[in-house]
Amino acid sequence: MTAVDSAPSRAARKIECNACPVLCQISEGRSGACDRYANVGGELTRVDPVLLLGRQAAAVEFSRPAADWDGRLVGPDVFVTGVGAGTTYPDYKPAPFIIGSEVDGIDTVTVVTEGIFSYCSFRVKIDTDRFLGPERALVRHQGEAVGHVTTQEYGSQFLSLGGVHHLTAGSKREGRITCDLMMAMGNREPVDLEIEGGAHLRVQAGQAPIVNGHPERRMRVGCGSATIGIFAQQWLGEVDEVVVVDDHITGVLSEHQAGKCLDMPASGIRLRGRKSTPGRYFQVAAPGTGWGGTDITDPLTIIEGWNPKVARPGLRLLMVSTTGDDAEYFVLDESLQPVKAEMPAAVARVVDRIGENCEPSLATVLFVAGAGGSLRAGVTENPVLLTRSIKDLLVKVTCGGAPAYVWPGGGITVMVDVARMPARSFGWVPTPAIVAPIEFTMRVADYRALGGHVERMRSLADVIAQGHARGEAWDVRNPWPAGGTV
């Protein structure tokens, strides 16, 4: 090749990738910006093989030559996922895989694609009593705003991360960092987060969250009042007073309804905070990472004093957190001052039982996406009929085979636990947007009725014959998509 014709020849070998709006010009042997599509011998090719899940105990190798395929899993025992399937972009194209099969004597079809999601986010549930940050506080990753703190639920704090505004409405760097974060979270990788006015976190789906460098162990058994109610009978006769320290509802045994039902005498304790109902106190301390999600490290600081007409020397006091991680035992001296003492074995057993009843602290990552708009054109020529069929429970929606919850109301807003999806299910395109698998399974008759691309249906054997597929074992936690209503 001469220097004169080398440049035109190189240009001629480039092809345009139309799998997303970026329209990369890809040289032969190279991949596009997202590393998902490549120029292989002048043909635009999806780099990763499509993932097939088989209902057997062991993973099945699907990438061997078609001539070696023994057919044992062809049909109802193999599910074609959207992982590695390719997209429907440009959106007039039918989905990459429209697979027909027979399940329990019923003709079914699964429409398989990788969706390009600009409208998507993650809901992150962090099991902890610790204060992570004020509600609505910004959450940052690598210095960029990527989400915010939402409500606190029973023993857990929720974050909302990602979303179209962070992906597209801010700076280019904010969009890129947000996209990187979302892909890492979806692929179950650890990510570092900083909450304004709050904690530093390391979060990974299915793993214990790390708050300010300390791994969380336990999700609280209940609020302070609930803990009193659960263990009141077991404390009876072993202590004269119990205070369960909690950021929200601190419980006091002798005043609580549980204590009254057990005929426990009043102790004369005076607690800080705002009394709600008997034995239940709000705002005994500020939120923090100390006892029971408060900012205290010395539990006696929430006691204002004792009523000398009621309290007595020798009164036995237990102070404990809602996880049992923090507990101290005191005895009142002659001046009615709590003096730390060795905790009796019977009392320690109940503290240990609090811990035993606490579930392991985990971070749960849920992918939320609007699977509407043009993605539906890959399924049918009349998109609204797909939406209606999903709402009418005629169509099952899965993401990488994992069951997806479809939110009520308009559109197809799906939510799925990434821990139940296959590993490395998520990708990206530099628009920026997230790429995730999605599958629609239904009866063939229903597919025909909603105007589906029935003429593009093919068998699983055809998919296997193309030779660019791989197999894994089905996750037994997930229901089989082609069963039940289909």
- Residues 243/252, Cβ–Cβ less than 8 Å: yes
pLDDT of residue 367: 98
Q: Which helix (H) or strand (E) holds 349?
A: helix 345-356
Identify the domain boundary among 337, 356, 375. 356
347 and 383 share a domain?
no
329 and 232 share a domain?
yes
User: Residue 10 domain-assigned?
Assistant: yes
Angular region, 146: left φ>0, alpha ψ -120 to 50, beta rest? alpha
User: Residue 483 domain-assigned?
Assistant: no
Cα–Cα dist 257/238, whole Å: 18
Q: Which helix (H) or strand (E) holds 174?
A: helix 172-186
Q: pLDDT (tens digit, 9 = 90+) per residue, 34-92? A: 888 888 888 888 888 889 998 863 344 444 444 343 434 445 688 999 999 888 887 77
301 and 352 share a domain?
yes
318 and 435 share a domain?
no
pLDDT of residue 57: 39
User: Residue 52 domain-assigned?
Assistant: no
Q: What are phi and psi of 452, to 5 degrees?
A: -70, 165
Q: Is 225 helix (H, G, I), strand (E, B) or coil?
A: helix
User: Residue 173 domain-assigned?
Assistant: no
| pTM of the entire predicted model | 0.88
Residues 6+ apart with CB under 8 A from 392: none
Cα–Cα dist 54/76, whole Å: 9
Angular region, 470: left φ>0, alpha ψ -120 to 50, beta rest? beta
433 and 317 share a domain?
no
Q: Is 190 helix (H, G, I), strand (E, B) or coil?
A: coil
351 and 409 share a domain?
no
Q: pLDDT (tens digit, 9 = 90+) per residue, 393-438? A: 999 999 999 999 999 999 999 999 999 999 999 999 988 999 999 9
250 and 331 share a domain?
yes
User: Residue 327 domain-assigned?
Assistant: yes
Identify the domain boundary among 336, 356, 376. 356
User: Residue 312 domain-assigned?
Assistant: yes
Residue that has been written with the tokens 């997303």 in this structure = 20
Other Cβ atoms less than 10 A from the Cβ of 398: the count is 27
346 and 369 share a domain?
no
User: What are 253's two structure tokens?
Assistant: 């045994």
- From the first residue on, what is the mean pLDDT of each consecutive set of 10 residues in the chain (486 residues)? 42 77 87 85 84 66 42 64 87 87 80 92 95 95 97 93 94 96 97 97 97 93 95 96 96 96 96 94 93 94 96 97 96 97 97 96 97 87 93 95 95 96 94 94 94 90 78 91 63
Cα–Cα dist 260/163, whole Å: 50
Count of structural domains within the chain: 3
Residues 6+ apart with CB under 8 A from 484: 396
pLDDT of residue 129: 87
Angular region, 424: left φ>0, alpha ψ -120 to 50, beta rest? left
User: Residue 7 domain-assigned?
Assistant: yes
Question: Which residue, 154, 90, 99, is CA-closest to 126?
Answer: 154
Identify the domain boundary among 356, 377, 393. 356
pLDDT of residue 106: 76
Burial class (CB in 10 A: 0-12, 13-18, 19+), 476: exposed
- Residues 135/149, Cβ–Cβ less than 8 Å: yes
User: Residue 165 domain-assigned?
Assistant: no
347 and 233 share a domain?
yes
273 and 344 share a domain?
yes
Residue that has been written with the tokens 């797909």 in this structure = 386
110 and 230 share a domain?
no
Give the residue numbers spanning the domain of 330.
Answer: 224-356
351 and 406 share a domain?
no
